[in-house]
Amino acid sequence: MNQTHICLVGNVATVPERHQSGGGDSVVRFRVASSPRRFDRDSGRWQDGPTSWYSVSVFRTLGDHAFESLNKGDRVVLSGRLRIRNWQAGEKRGTDAEIDVEALGHDLMWGTTTFEPRPRTGAEQRREDEWTHSPNSSSGSPVESVGSPVEAAPALEWDTSPLGSTTVATADVPF
């Protein structure tokens, strides 16, 4: 089945609301308003285009984090699966654009935010436990402990000097 994915920048237009799905999972819903902007050379000013409205659903842990982090008016960047639904209520008919969010965050062009990692639980923790640090590795690079053995790559030294510097990176890069 083909799915349409969308990446969207806009403003949280309603207060996020948390609900429980039939299976007990957390679902957070809110609306996002997105307006294209363009510079009008004749007037020398930025002009807003027509606003598009999206219904947004965020599930499980991502939904819980969104509920704790987002407020009405926040500028966000989100990515997810787009569904277009036609609806009818009596004589009224319309179309609704719905997004099931896969990734979500604040738009840092308009402000700052602080990231606070949360402890992992359940399946997330089991996946994390499948990775271990190599006891012989000084860099602490993760080495897969399941399946075929993985050789730890030698540490690479990257040129981090400012642009225009005469320093040349001499690391033997394997790619």
What does DSSP say about strands 52-59 and 26-34: parallel, antiparallel, or unpaired? antiparallel
Q: Tell me: the pLDDT tens digits for 73-94? A: 999 999 999 999 999 999 999 9
Q: Which residues contact 34 (CB under 8 A, 6 or more apart)?
A: 8, 9, 10, 11, 51, 52, 54
Q: Tell me: the pLDDT tens digits for 94-113? A: 999 999 999 999 999 999 98
Is residue 158 included in any domain, yes or no? Answer: no
Averaged pLDDT of the chain: 80
CATH number, domain at 19?
Answer: 2.40.50.140
Is residue 13 included in any domain, yes or no? Answer: yes
Is residue 96 included in any domain, yes or no? Answer: yes
Determine the pLDDT at residue 130: 52
Is residue 170 included in any domain, yes or no? Answer: no
Is residue 149 included in any domain, yes or no? Answer: no
pTM strictly above 0.95: no
Domains in the chain, number: 1
Is residue 141 included in any domain, yes or no? Answer: no
Confidence band of 12 (pLDDT split at 50, 70, 90)? very high
